[in-house]
Structure 1
């Protein structure tokens, strides 16, 4: 049996990746494709799977540590004959290095918070509850503690799920384990440190159920809070008349009968937004607070919030300003399908300069989407509806598209936001302007 080192793979040029959660510790038995740890890059969160079966020899990183591509993170003693058939004994006993391909899981809706059928709660992929005597199963990981703390708990015979963590975010630290070892006195002291349990108060009025947040909710929640508290959000509401656009779209789709591509209203909105972003470059920028400067981006990549059974994913359509409406529609179908089937590449979820969140498939007349840092604005689309509009002689029925733009008030003022929304409205309503 040889020892393999699993490396952080290439993330398409991203230099800093954060280790969000570690699922294994020395002695853990893993199978091929079991998740070793969760990585976070920009808005993407992904599990790093084990490339082979074996027993974890050493964990070389800690939670919240920032790492780079190529860094060794886990050493695994490979079961059986190693990773390559026909290796000689010398090769089997030597240390080897393997790069694991991460499995894109979902992106935080710090990016937007809403999409499609509504925001999903996300969830961890099913993991086998395998394990040998003396080893910790991958599935047994419902506590937050670093590998060193887990190892200490094993040596002291402490069950971590019985220990109350006093570290940041409820994480179990070394002192918590030592306090638990101290016996009843330590347990009593530990209990006294517990914050008030609001669920006990709620239970006084009726039946309640305590449900743990999913991993993506915990990760995404902190980033949503960061975005909401650090960015002074203002939301501007507007609506566009899409009556003529909808007639044109339906005619085009009828002519495309039998083809794989279908023109959605969102495809036209993406094209319209690209034109408005060119006209109002502040909305396609990022703020550098440390230098009091703004970075104006000369490329236009639109993130599209997609609701999936596993949570919210925000794939990116690149260079929308250079794409025709049919090409945008095809790319929208590709990335949306890839998001739902978990087949997106890392590059598909990076580089967005502006995000669109659509609740058109559900309903509502308006909402306030949360800006995706480091972007400075986000567009929210609601469901179209019929409205009587005065044409100068009589009221006529028109189909209206409500939309809203949340923007960073440190970068963008209200007048500029109003002009930007009017630009989107005009581009959506004017077919020639949109298509050209």
Structure 2
């Protein structure tokens, strides 16, 4: 004769009002004794609750997110045997020894479920530590779960019998405690099946509620070692533990690793978060070293350039332009006492190109779905200073003559070297030029200075033999490198911009008009 039996939450140790994070059965399921029916999680542990009776699930009395305690009905089971005995955990009567002297109590691996040869990944105590009952002593991890093993009695650790990497089974000796608990404590320690279950952190994927998106509902899989509380924190923050580099023993993920990972995502604008950390090396063991702190400019520009590199899909396009005519004009002006650097010609030529290709003088809005086209023509000019690279802005370049620009560049460069630039002097550019012509090099790949979408790199000009159709003619050529944001500018648009800029620089009349 069948009967309906209520399955209640058993004694799960020192936990009250524990949250249901997973329901492992459905109405109509046939379950056997010790099949897991729900998963609970506190701030210290995650544990699967088994059924003490076999039968067919007739009702489920809890929901994901419910807080339940000992004695609450979890589900109903239709059993074929009305007299089916419920296997309960019997409380052992306290029978403290009258003996006052200390006893050595062996602590062994309790019943941790269907696991064999589980690896020790963390030892949480040392010889001499004073432990309270239920303090965690080691952490075990299988391919399915991570679990902390508590001590069944209080006392002082007298010896450790396991090492990191050991494989343990039910009943294996973990450590010995010096305890005043006497014979009773000893008898409890050798009956692991009667002890409080291990604090288990299931690595299985919990069922997602309809209001929870996939990225935050799944418990991360992979080879990450982390305690139950860390796994819970990772789920709450939506962090995939497999992408977090652990700094604890055996690369175990710690609280600080999770927080550092989230901070990296925030400071980098959400990208590049999966980049592994650079290994920390003591270089002094290879020879003499010296510590030189980075300047404030180095620190600020480093963070900004890292964010630009990680967030912008870069493309760099190279070209060489014949500047014989430009250089001849520049030398003529020099003979007249007018000193003009090649950079002012490049600035004017870039403005002419930007007018014909407004997409290069734009920025993406916050949504990334719209372009903000700038109607003004301000250029950022990268300048080398004793303290590092700075990019002051020359405004309204389209409205200034070559001599005006030469004068302003000289003044701005002097202020940059002397550290007199103000924050406002480095804001408002629509396009940047980085010139290494005075230093050297044949080509380089400049990093787009976000929120701009393009930057022009200029290298040192040199005379090369160029075929004119009949002969090789000595020609002064200027190497250019255009880097751009491929979300905004495609290769064809980049090619047309470079061809247009090349044409302008070759014909000095277009710059002077």
Report TM bin, short chain: 0.5 to 0.7
1:428 aligns with 2:505: yes
Q: 1:275-424 residue pairs with structure 2 within 5 A?
A: 275-290=352-367, 292-424=369-501
Provide the C-alpha distance between the structure 2 equivalents of 1:350 and 1:219, rounded to a whole number of angstroms: 14
Provide the C-alpha distance between the structure 1 equivalents of 2:467 and 2:449, rounded to a whole number of angstroms: 38
Picking from 223, 238, 263, the partner of 2:304 is: 223
Listed one character per residue, the Cα deviations across residues 91-114 of structure 1 (whole Å, up to 9, x for unaligned) are xxxxxxxxxxxxxxxxxxxxxxxx
* Alpha carbons 1:381, 1:403 under 8 Å: kept: yes
Listed one character per residue, the Cα deviations across residues 8-51 of structure 1 (whole Å, up to 9, x for unaligned) are xxxxxxxxxxxxxxxxxxxxxxxxxxxxxxxxxxxxxxxxxxxx
Q: CA RMSD in A?
A: 2.3
* Alpha carbons 1:282, 1:411 under 8 Å: kept: yes
- The structure carrying a bigger helix percent of its residues is 1
TM-superposed CA distance for 1:308, in Å, is 1.2
Picking from 229, 246, 266, the partner of 2:327 is: 246
Listed one character per residue, the Cα deviations across residues 157-201 of structure 1 (whole Å, up to 9, x for unaligned) are xxxxxxxx969779xxxxxxxxxxxxxxxxxxxxxxxx997332x
Which residue of structure 2 aligns with residue 255 of structure 1?
336
Listed one character per residue, the Cα deviations across residues 367-396 of structure 1 (whole Å, up to 9, x for unaligned) are 111111100000000000110011222111
Q: SS in structure 1 opposite 2:375?
A: coil
TM-superposed CA distance for 1:316, in Å, is 1.1
Q: 1:92-107 residue pairs with structure 2 within 5 A?
A: none
Which residue of structure 2 aligns with residue 237 of structure 1?
318
TM-superposed CA distance for 1:346, in Å, is 4.1
Structure 2 spans left out of the alignment, 5+ residues? 1-254, 262-276
Higher normalized contact order (CA 8 Å, seq sep 6+, divided by chain length): 1
Provide the C-alpha distance between the structure 1 equivalents of 2:466 and 2:365, rounded to a whole number of angstroms: 44
- 289-298 or 278-287: which moved more? 289-298
* Alpha carbons 1:377, 1:408 under 8 Å: kept: yes
TM-superposed CA distance for 1:291, in Å, is 5.2
* Alpha carbons 1:389, 1:398 under 8 Å: kept: yes
Q: SS in structure 2 opposite 1:198?
A: coil
Classify 1:212/1:291 alpha carbon distance in 2 versus 1 (closer, same or farther; 3 Å).
closer
* Alpha carbons 1:335, 1:348 under 8 Å: kept: no
TM-superposed CA distance for 1:303, in Å, is 0.8
Q: 1:127-206 residue pairs with structure 2 within 5 A?
A: 198-200=280-282, 202-206=283-287
Picking from 212, 222, 226, the partner of 2:293 is: 212
Instruction: Output the TM-score relative to the length of structure 1.
Output: 0.53
Q: SS in structure 1 opposite 2:281?
A: helix
* Alpha carbons 1:199, 1:210 under 8 Å: kept: no
Listed one character per residue, the Cα deviations across residues 26-82 of structure 1 (whole Å, up to 9, x for unaligned) are xxxxxxxxxxxxxxxxxxxxxxxxxxxxxxxxxxxxxxxxxxxxxxxxxxxxxxxxx
Structure 1 spans left out of the alignment, 5+ residues? 1-164, 171-194
Provide the C-alpha distance between the structure 1 equivalents of 2:342 and 2:356, rounded to a whole number of angstroms: 22
Provide the C-alpha distance between the structure 1 equivalents of 2:278 and 2:431, rounded to a whole number of angstroms: 41
Listed one character per residue, the Cα deviations across residues 305-354 of structure 1 (whole Å, up to 9, x for unaligned) are 11111222211111111212121212211211221223334443221111
TM-superposed CA distance for 1:425, in Å, is 0.8
Provide the C-alpha distance between the structure 1 equivalents of 2:315 and 2:368, rounded to a whole number of angstroms: 23
Provide the C-alpha distance between the structure 2 equivalents of 1:203 and 1:310, rounded to a whole number of angstroms: 26
Instruction: Output the TM-score relative to the length of structure 2.
Output: 0.45
Larger CA Rg, structure 1 vs 2: 2
Q: SS in structure 2 opposite 1:199?
A: coil
Provide the C-alpha distance between the structure 2 equivalents of 1:197 and 1:410, rounded to a whole number of angstroms: 33
Provide the C-alpha distance between the structure 2 equivalents of 1:211 and 1:221, rounded to a whole number of angstroms: 16
Provide the C-alpha distance between the structure 1 equivalents of 2:402 and 2:305, rounded to a whole number of angstroms: 32
